[in-house]
Amino acid sequence: MIDNNILKEKFQSYFGEGEPRLFTAPGRINIIGEHTDYNGGFVLPGAVDKAITMAILPNHTDIVNLISIDHDCAAVFFRIGGPQPKEQWASYFYGVIEEMRKRGATVGGFNAVFGGDVPLGAGMSSSAALESCIGTALNAIYSLKFTREELAKIGQMTEHNYIGVRCGIMDQFASIFGQKGHVVRLDCRSLEYQLVPFKPKGIEIVLIDTMVKHLLASSEYNVRRAQCEEGVSVIKKYLPNVELLRDVTMEELEAHRAEIDPVSFRRCAFVVSENQRLMDACAAMEKGDFEEVGRLIYATHDGLSKEYGVSCAELDFIVDIAREHKEVLGARMMGGGFGGCVIALVKKEGVAAYIEDVKKRYQVKFDKDPRVIEVEISDGAREI
């Protein structure tokens, strides 16, 4: 997390007197449950100890003055209700304000300085962390009384309407609802959630970023959605109450296999089995059985790579190395695919050896260095 004193010093050097309030919101990881969200299924994210933090104070005008430490202290100002700023990072502020105003809130002008340590491009949802931080701060300083669920939806709609990203709600939900020592089992259809204890003794979460960009992710994402919908349309002819793959059992899917395109069948089979793996992982966590959680995580990667077809050589390579280390309980690609991070659960005594092995062999194989990120499960958006 960025140093709070630095934020306050920057705030006072730019805006003069006044004691700003400090707010923070974290990035997230997802333990298990990939490509289940848009199929109405379950996900299991957790907030982490990498966050966006903001110093903010109302200025009693209709002007928003912003300083971004992460963009070399770039300054932007805009009028509430005026044109959207051209800078994308400032558009997150604009979008959150506009979504709040749509819901009847009155938001005044303010001065803010913000920055963070959520790694960019690593699939840890730095944008959701920023939206959640903004929403939490404005909700508090203007006593708007939005619920946490409403704040998550405001962040999601900011992405849709002002950034142009048609995201699900997992990222914002995890950033808002996260709790130290727990992951969030979220039902992506009903938004019902449960905090599941996640306290693996002697085990660390290690992320290894391939430094590969998700070049195919957006186009292939749409293809995967269509393939899942194709499977649902076949089954719906026989079971009219089926709306999403969430509603389908493996037995029902197998019963109509002959009518579904073979590739689409594999996509659907992955999603149905992934929902079950997530439930099994939650049960194992509650028993403290992280060996079983690791086995399920490896199974998820195999499904993502072979059935769902969203992995890549770099991701598979890092997971294959993990399998050679007995201290690594489980590893898989995390996120949309075609690049990004591998998430691994590693016994503490094996972390250094695993990281060193990956770094050495990855550089030789792909002529680039991976980025290593160690994280802990942390609390969600809050005032400091």
Active site residues: 171
Rounded Cα gap, residues 357 and 7, in angstroms: 38
**Contact criterion met (CB below 8 Å) for 318 and 369:** no
Q: Backbone phi, then psi, for 336, in 5-degree steps? A: -65, -30
**Contact criterion met (CB below 8 Å) for 202 and 189:** no
All residues at 6 or more sequence positions from 253 whose CB lies less than 8 Å from its CB, including other chains: 231, 235, 260, 265, 268, 269, 272
| Radius of gyration in angstroms for the set of CA atoms belonging to the chain, rounded to a whole number | 22
How many residues are listed for the chain in this entry? 384
Rounded Cα gap, residues 195 and 198, in angstroms: 9
Hey, what are 111's tokens?
């001065």
Hey, what are 63's tokens?
């002007």
Rounded Cα gap, residues 346 and 79, in angstroms: 49
> Which of 364, 363, 370 has the alpha carbon at shortest distance from 339?
370
